[in-house]
Amino acid sequence: MNMILILRVLSVLLLLIVGFMVAPIIVAFFYGELMTIRAFLVPIVVVGPLAALFLFATRRRRGSLSTRSGFLLVTLSWLAAAATGAVPFVLSGWIPGVTDAFFETMSGFTTTGATILTDIEGLPASLLFWRSLTHWLGGMGIIVLTVAILPLLGVGGYQIMKAEAPGPSVDRLTPKITQTAKILWFIYLGLTVLQTTLLMVGGLSLYDALTHTFGTLATGGFSPKAASVGHYASPFVQIVVTVFMLAAGVNFILYYRLLLGRLRVIARNTEVKVYLAVFAAATVAIAFALYGRAYDGIGESLRYAGFQAASILTTTGYATADFAQWPAVAQVLLFALMFVGGSAGSTGGGIKVVRIVTLIKQGFNEMRYLVHPSGVFAIRLNGQVIRKDIVYSIAGFVFLYLLLLVVTAIVVATGGNDIVTSFTTALATLGNIGPGFGRIGPVESYAFFPDYIKWYLSVIMMIGRLEIYTVLVLVTPAFWRG
Amino acid sequence: MNMILILRVLSVLLLLIVGFMVAPIIVAFFYGELMTIRAFLVPIVVVGPLAALFLFATRRRRGSLSTRSGFLLVTLSWLAAAATGAVPFVLSGWIPGVTDAFFETMSGFTTTGATILTDIEGLPASLLFWRSLTHWLGGMGIIVLTVAILPLLGVGGYQIMKAEAPGPSVDRLTPKITQTAKILWFIYLGLTVLQTTLLMVGGLSLYDALTHTFGTLATGGFSPKAASVGHYASPFVQIVVTVFMLAAGVNFILYYRLLLGRLRVIARNTEVKVYLAVFAAATVAIAFALYGRAYDGIGESLRYAGFQAASILTTTGYATADFAQWPAVAQVLLFALMFVGGSAGSTGGGIKVVRIVTLIKQGFNEMRYLVHPSGVFAIRLNGQVIRKDIVYSIAGFVFLYLLLLVVTAIVVATGGNDIVTSFTTALATLGNIGPGFGRIGPVESYAFFPDYIKWYLSVIMMIGRLEIYTVLVLVTPAFWRG
């Protein structure tokens, strides 16, 4: 493995992160929070020059990264980002404990949105801005990871993404990672500008609009408001956030296609159709459960149901209501949505719609084999046959995901937590959702967990975010022997 | 499809069932319950002659059953058994509602053990004997189904069972179903005699010993006592039941091997080793959670933990304590065990250990592929490579199982039930366990569910018991076209 090259990439990443710390410093100036500026300046003046020096010293060391180096780099990136990003929280004294600060920052960069804060609005605006910015930066990282890097590494069915743009056509995303990244970030930036503008039209300040846009597009869920998006009574604002949460849960390659005017590719995309169908069905079912019980109007029921369905399905975790108090069937539907997740190549977490579609198709195919044992029944996605080894890979992924869920629930339960809290905490962290039911409901926090559970969950958020294998492969003997 | 032949087999089955109704009549005489005898005589004198007449009238109609007829026959068998077996409950007036009587009898024949009775000990001994006997008969049916029929039908990975005795050796179970059935029933009968004797040694009456043996060996869970096996304070009795529950959750082919002295085949069997390891690990972990909190002694903690772990793992559902009141981590561990189930070829339900082992191995194999993308890594069970199409089949099965779980939880939630009740009801019926947590805890019953949920759950118990595909394939258009 080319450790120098890995460290060079990490140095660039750290430079980027401390570079972005200039943003909360600007916010601090605006809001007169001069006390927190030092908390941001320290990592900038310590980490910045060190990383730059390392890059300069190793400037002649070139080469290419092997697949194995790729795995190590991805995991180290998120660890380094969370460690560096946590520094201002600790130094400012607002989250003095290292455990809590690391948890909160890992939750940010993994776009989970689980928080240990119990009095969010008590924090300085600049720190909350940084907290939301970690989402936005993490979301950027995830898009590049899932669209450009994981297909190359061949993780958990992401080979599908390679197959998605077949043939030597202009349609194909450029194979060069840096160029792919630029296109995707351009789209991400465009959506950011669009949502921020719309939220400001809806009456939000630039600060509120930006932080909520960060949380939305990264499917993160951090809000500087204690009541989350529920802070804003405006139906317009709630609907804008709903639409952009949904947009963030779509494969970003499709936006690229959209820009090229390739509407047919989108209409043929199985995942986006199922994704929208699941959203629509869940919204109607939940609204049906809410109507007449939680809300009086049909429109109101649909709006609250749609918001929460989009929030959980895309693994954002925003709330406009305390859904843990909703009628039982609405809760169970949301709980079921926690198993689904966004689309592959989006900022959404979870198992992902495409994997679930593939396995359901595989399940139904088995029935065809029972009637025609010698028949050949392929699984089709986007009008194309999916290779058997990809289905294999997806089955292995989903099963490991479920196994990790159960293990995590048991670990959480050792802290004396009930079944609902234990399992939804597992789902909400491994799936990068944030809130759940029980003691981690939408109006609760992760503050009460003992330190060992917070550290464990920090790792689980990272494992879930990096599609499990990327992290777990590092602890196999074969990886270090190979 | 050869409908006449299907009906002939069903007629034999019905004759068997009404034949076995002689047993509760004998019990009724003993206990002086002359009022309930009529309830058993009516199905005997109505169904018996009709079935016999049909067999006589069609005695010249021979032929062989196609695979498709096999699926239809299996499902119709359980439906016919539940419908006929429910008659005495209705006629006696002790379970007057058809919904409740059908649910209770389907729960019996599927060896689930979910009950709608709220005052069990108020019922006549003869009816409770019949209730327990449906378990024992259902268990018999399941052993033959999973060892002899499903491998032929190729359902959900049961092809493994074919591969399990490879080569033209004496080791191979006879391919003729009737002969296989005889050998297996001989083993089943032997275990029945053994457990009944041991329980009587432990101080139980013949009646109590028999009914609890029926519930144990079928991994059913019906008990004529309101406090289930907890009725007996004797550690000896509790340990006997624990051991025999575990024994009932083992692949019955292994007992056949044991009789032939083939110990090496058993030592090499992956499933039984993992099964026992899961039991041991769960017992120790649960005992650790109970010790000092629920029970004072280490031995006592281990005994209660072992009983409940065996009961849930094998999907029996007996209880010696109200485990819904145990410390949180013990509850979560039991909840996790609900996903596992017994071994293939046993009377246990659930996903089955062998399927979970296969998919975990597949999950870990993926990591090897990530390090060596062009490598070939096989999945081995019992020292042999498992064909890829079987892994495929298992992945499809498990996923459809999980999908049905979620759908069932949603249906249960429409009755206004919370997350824990909804999901454990789904697990407890699809996995043929019986009790769960929340409103269906070990000291509760299924009585409170509205009729539509009881009917739905009756079908789910059957779908789970018949390994999903056997039933679901009947509702595919391909089945009726093919």
Q: Do B420 and A416 make contact, defined as CB atoms within 8 angstroms?
A: no
Three-state SS for A294?
A: coil
Measured between alpha carbons, how far apart are the two ends of chain B, in Å? 10
- A325-341: per-residue pLDDT in tens? 999 999 999 999 999 99
Domain enclosing residue B45, as ranges: 3-241
pLDDT at B31: 95
pLDDT at B427: 97
pLDDT at B173: 42
Q: B115 in a domain, yes or no?
A: yes
A398: contact with B, CB 8 A cutoff: yes
pLDDT at A205: 97
What are the residue ranges of helices labelled H in A342-466?
353-371, 388-413, 419-430, 451-465
What residues of chain A lie within 8 A of the CB of B372, using their CB? 478, 482
pLDDT at A14: 96
A416: contact with B, CB 8 A cutoff: yes
Residue A59 has pLDDT above 70, yes or no: yes
Residue A21 has pLDDT above 70, yes or no: yes
Interface probe with A: pick from B410, B419, B424, B481, most Cβ of A within 10 Å: B419
Q: B161 in a domain, yes or no?
A: yes
The answer to whether A360 touches B360, Cβ cutoff 8 Å, is no
Q: Do B367 and A476 make contact, defined as CB atoms within 8 angstroms?
A: yes
What residues of chain B lie within 8 A of the CB of A370, using their CB? 67, 71, 153-155, 469, 473
- B370-380: per-residue pLDDT in tens? 888 888 888 88
pLDDT at B45: 96
B422: contact with A, CB 8 A cutoff: yes
Residue of A nearest to B72 (CA): A371
Closest Cα in chain B, distance from residue A241 (Å): 27
Q: B420 in a domain, yes or no?
A: no
pLDDT at B172: 41
Residue recorded with tokens 């949380």: A215
Closest Cα in chain A, distance from residue B53 (Å): 33
The pTM assigned to this predicted structure is 0.93
Q: What is the mean pLDDT of residues A410-438?
A: 96
The answer to whether A353 touches B441, Cβ cutoff 8 Å, is no
Residue A384's φ and ψ, nearest 5 degrees, are -125, 150
B418: contact with A, CB 8 A cutoff: yes
B379: contact with A, CB 8 A cutoff: no
A376 burial via Cβ count (<10 Å: 0-12, 13-18, 19+): exposed
Residue A180 has pLDDT above 80, yes or no: no
pLDDT at B60: 85
B243 burial via Cβ count (<10 Å: 0-12, 13-18, 19+): middle
Mean pLDDT of chain A: 91
Residue A167 has pLDDT above 50, yes or no: no
List all residues of chain A from 441 to 470 with a beta carbon under 8 Å from chain B. 469
A176: contact with B, CB 8 A cutoff: no
Residue A426 has pLDDT above 70, yes or no: yes
Interface probe with B: pick from A418, A419, A449, most Cβ of B within 10 Å: A419
What residues of chain A lie within 8 A of the CB of B155, using their CB? 370
pLDDT at B368: 86
pLDDT at A169: 32
Closest CA to B470 of B8, B14, B85, B71: B71
pLDDT bracket for residue A201 (50, 70, 90): very high
User: Looking at this predicted complex, what is its ipTM?
Assistant: 0.91
Q: Do B410 and A336 make contact, defined as CB atoms within 8 angstroms?
A: yes
Residue of B nearest to A355 (CA): B399
Residue A283 has pLDDT above 80, yes or no: yes
pLDDT at B59: 87
- A65-108: per-residue pLDDT in tens? 788 888 999 999 999 999 999 999 999 999 999 999 999 999 99
**Beta-strand runs (E) in A129-226:** none
pLDDT at A173: 43
Q: Do B370 and A71 make contact, defined as CB atoms within 8 angstroms?
A: yes
Residue of A nearest to B327 (CA): A416
Closest CA to B116 of B339, B471, B446: B446
Q: B172 in a domain, yes or no?
A: yes
Residue A163 has pLDDT above 90, yes or no: no
List all residues of chain B from 424 to 443 with a beta carbon under 8 Å from chain A. 437
B97: contact with A, CB 8 A cutoff: no
Interface probe with B: pick from A158, A354, A371, most Cβ of B within 10 Å: A371
Beta bridge partners of A385: A380
Closest CA to B277 of B381, B353, B225, B215: B353
pLDDT at B159: 65
CA angle B86, B247, B433 (to 5 degrees): 40
Among A332, A413, A473, select the one facing B328 at the smallest CB separation.
Answer: A413
Residue A168 has pLDDT above 90, yes or no: no
What residues of chain A lie within 8 A of the CB of B371, using their CB? 68, 473, 476, 478-479, 482
Q: B261 in a domain, yes or no?
A: no
What residues of chain A lie within 8 A of the CB of B402, using their CB? 402
* Cα–Cα distance measured from residue A147 to residue B90, given in angstroms and rounded to the nearest whole number: 62
Residue recorded with tokens 């949301």: A334
Q: Do B332 and A422 make contact, defined as CB atoms within 8 angstroms?
A: yes
Where chain B has pLDDT below 50, the residues are 163-174
Tally of domains in chain A: 1
